[in-house]
Structure 1
């Protein structure tokens, strides 16, 4: 199976299983791999953080996030 076939097969998995795969792959990356963000990504992160600081009530808990992910199955 090649990479494209593997990706297609993984895309067919339920969301929870795909998240497990993402975590498993992430855990295999070496500690010295460059995971820096682009300037555009950093700007979006800054925007979201500012929005949260302006109105923290819009945030949801980790438990709520996981409940929503599981309900998307």
Structure 2
């Protein structure tokens, strides 16, 4: 199996099918897999949280996020 070719093939599927694949893969991970953020990811999360705390007005509500997502469909 060529993973790169599989990813390329999957990218041609409709979004709903790709989401099904994502969910199936996620659900297949063992319960004891380490899902910790890498140091780089943690640094980025910390940076974004600090930016939000310094100016919370830049955030949008969940309702607004969902409205924007729905408007793109």
Does TM, normalized by the shorter one, top 0.5?
yes
**RMSD (Å), alpha carbons:** 2.8
Higher relative contact order (CA 8 A, sep 6+): 1
Q: Which has the larger radius of gyration?
A: 2
* Long gaps (5+) in structure 2: none
What is the TM-score with the length of structure 2 in the denominator?
0.67
* Long gaps (5+) in structure 1: none
What is the TM-score with the length of structure 1 in the denominator?
0.67
Q: Deviations over 1:20-62 (max 9, x none)?
A: 4323311221110011221111100100111112222222334
Aligned length: 72
Distance 1:42 1:14, change over 3 A: same
